[in-house]
């Protein structure tokens, strides 16, 4: 297989964020090495990762920062466990695994998974066959928020050396394995095959006593994990960020009877809208100039010539009717109307990604 040619920004990210010994990532890895007295070698195939995940990064400059940030969160979660005196037995088990692998160091592989458990996020695992740690990124997963990474890695490390259960079918009832029995149940000869669990009827069911209602002091309170802002390096330039991330927003404002302003975060939506109405605008041979003008304003942000604002003006005596544009936004672009004000302003939002 031919070697994958990495974009310049990806190679720069590897050079500036991944390889330097004084980078935040390598400092976090070094702290773990000093804690357990074992060197950690990171194994990564950038060509393979770019082939699988490159489509998720329209701006290649965000590619390496995403993986670098994920590994930093993994290192932080691992360091937290190593510093916890109550988890010494877990640390001892980790060192035993490493010792059994031979050598003086630990291998950490950055790889890809099929995500058969449907977590949709990177997962930390221990590979008994290769005797190494792994951080596996799901092929079909999307970029996830930092709080999801942190909580996920913490749970993965907790059960690092336990075999993960196979995913169960998602049904509305819990089931027992065929040929098995629930906790405390007994089996009789001849019941090993082809039996099914039949729930008791209402008359046969043993009477139960409802548990006492929880008092205010005993009620459990759900506490949501705090959100974390992404790092600056992990954010693409505006034209790439707003094209590849939702929600998309469109704001329409009417000025008098002959002027309409349409502002949007997704350039593709504005481009299609303009091209459609420019194609079907009525022609007037007696009028010197365009009957309706579409003035596109280049965005004040980003590095290309993309636009995020359109001014539509009617140059004749007729009124400019805004409803065809509003209908196009809802019918063709499939944005949802969020708010309207007195027939003057309309605010739309779309949450589903456009390719």
Write the pLDDT tens digit of every residue in 308-351: 899 999 887 888 999 999 999 999 999 999 999 888 999 999 99
Q: Is residue 176 part of a domain?
A: no
Cα separation, 337 vs 322, whole angstroms: 14
Which of 93, 123, 158 is the C-terminal boundary of a domain?
A: 158
Q: Is residue 52 part of a domain?
A: yes
Which of 139, 158, 177 is the C-terminal boundary of a domain?
A: 158
Q: Is residue 275 part of a domain?
A: yes
Which of 98, 132, 158 is the C-terminal boundary of a domain?
A: 158
Tokens of 73: 């969160």
What pLDDT is recorded for position 326? 95
Band the pLDDT of 204: cuts 50, 70, 90: very low
* 142 and 40 within one domain: yes
Instruction: Give 83-105 pLDDT, tens digit per residue.
Output: 888 888 888 888 888 777 776 67
* 125 and 25 within one domain: yes
Beta-strand relationship, 123-127 and 132-138: antiparallel
Q: Is residue 131 part of a domain?
A: yes
Cα separation, 238 vs 158, whole angstroms: 38
* 147 and 271 within one domain: no
Q: Are 227 and 293 in contact (CB under 8 A)?
A: no
Residue 350, strand partner residues: 248
* 243 and 154 within one domain: no
Q: Is residue 172 part of a domain?
A: no
What single string gives the DSSP state of each residue in 48-81?
HHHHHHGGG-SSGGGHHHHHHHHHHHHHHHHHHH
Q: Is residue 165 part of a domain?
A: no
Structural domain that includes position 124: 8-158
Cα separation, 96 vs 89, whole angstroms: 10
What pLDDT is recorded for position 48? 92
**Residue 12 dihedral angles phi and psi, to the nearest 5°:** -65, -40
What pLDDT is recorded for position 190? 43
Cβ neighbors of 123 (< 8 A, separation 6 or more) are 113, 117, 135, 136, 138, 152, 156
* 250 and 109 within one domain: no
Tokens of 244: 């590849």
* 60 and 150 within one domain: yes
The number of domains in the chain is: 2
Q: Is the pLDDT of residue 16 over 70?
A: yes
* 146 and 260 within one domain: no
* 135 and 21 within one domain: yes
What pLDDT is recorded for position 141? 67
Cα separation, 331 vs 354, whole angstroms: 15
What pLDDT is recorded for position 311? 93
Band the pLDDT of 172: cuts 50, 70, 90: very low
Q: Is the pLDDT of residue 257 over 70?
A: yes
What pLDDT is recorded for position 215? 52
* 152 and 16 within one domain: yes
Q: Is the pLDDT of residue 43 over 80?
A: yes
Q: Is residue 178 part of a domain?
A: no
Q: Is residue 25 part of a domain?
A: yes
* 145 and 41 within one domain: yes
* 339 and 246 within one domain: yes
* 151 and 47 within one domain: yes
Cβ neighbors of 50 (< 8 A, separation 6 or more) are 4, 6, 7, 10, 63
* Cis peptide bond N-terminal to 316, omega within 30: no
Q: Is the pLDDT of residue 20 over 70?
A: yes
What pLDDT is recorded for position 223? 62
Q: Are 179 and 192 in contact (CB under 8 A)?
A: yes
Instruction: Give 131-150 pLDDT, tens digit per residue.
Output: 889 999 988 766 666 777 77
What pLDDT is recorded for position 176? 34
Cα separation, 324 vs 312, whole angstroms: 13
């Amino acid at each position: 297989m031919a070697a994958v040619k990495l974009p310049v920004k990806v190679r720069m990210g590897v050079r500036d964020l991944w390889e330097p010994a004084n980078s935040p990532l390598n400092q976090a890895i070094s702290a773990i090495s000093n804690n357990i007295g074992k060197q950690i070698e990171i194994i990564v195939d950038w060509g393979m990762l770019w082939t699988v995940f490159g489509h998720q990064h329209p701006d290649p400059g965000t590619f390496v920062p995403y993986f670098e940030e994920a590994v930093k969160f993994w290192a932080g979660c691992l360091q937290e466990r190593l510093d916890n005196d109550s988890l010494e037995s877990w640390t001892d088990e980790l060192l035993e695994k490493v010792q059994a692998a031979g050598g003086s160091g630990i291998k950490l592989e950055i790889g890809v998974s099929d995500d058969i458990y449907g977590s949709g996020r990177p997962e930390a695992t221990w590979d008994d066959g290769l005797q190494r740690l792994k951080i596996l990124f799901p092929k079909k997963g999307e970029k996830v928020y930092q709080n999801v990474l942190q909580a996920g890695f913490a749970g993965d490390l907790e059960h690092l050396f336990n075999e993960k259960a196979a995913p169960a079918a998602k049904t509305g009832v819990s089931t027992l394995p065929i040929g098995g029995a629930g906790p405390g149940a007994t089996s009789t000869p001849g019941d090993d095959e082809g039996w099914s669990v039949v729930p008791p009827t209402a008359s046969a069911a043993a009477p139960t006593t409802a548990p006492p209602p929880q008092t205010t002091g005993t009620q459990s309170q759900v506490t949501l994990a705090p959100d974390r802002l992404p790092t600056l390096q992990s954010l693409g330039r505006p034209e790439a960020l707003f094209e590849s991330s939702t929600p998309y927003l469109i704001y329409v404002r009417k000025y008098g009877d002959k002027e309409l302003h349409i502002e949007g975060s997704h350039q593709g939506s504005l481009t299609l809208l303009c091209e459609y109405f420019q194609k079907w605008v009525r022609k007037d041979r007696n009028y010197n100039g365009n009957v309706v003008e579409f003035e596109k304003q280049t965005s004040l942000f980003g590095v290309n010539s993309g636009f995020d604002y359109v001014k539509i003006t009617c140059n004749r005596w007729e009124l400019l009717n805004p409803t065809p544009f509003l209908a196009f936004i809802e019918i063709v672009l499939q944005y949802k109307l969020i708010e309207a004000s007195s027939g003057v302003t309309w605010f739309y939002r779309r949450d589903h990604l456009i390719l």
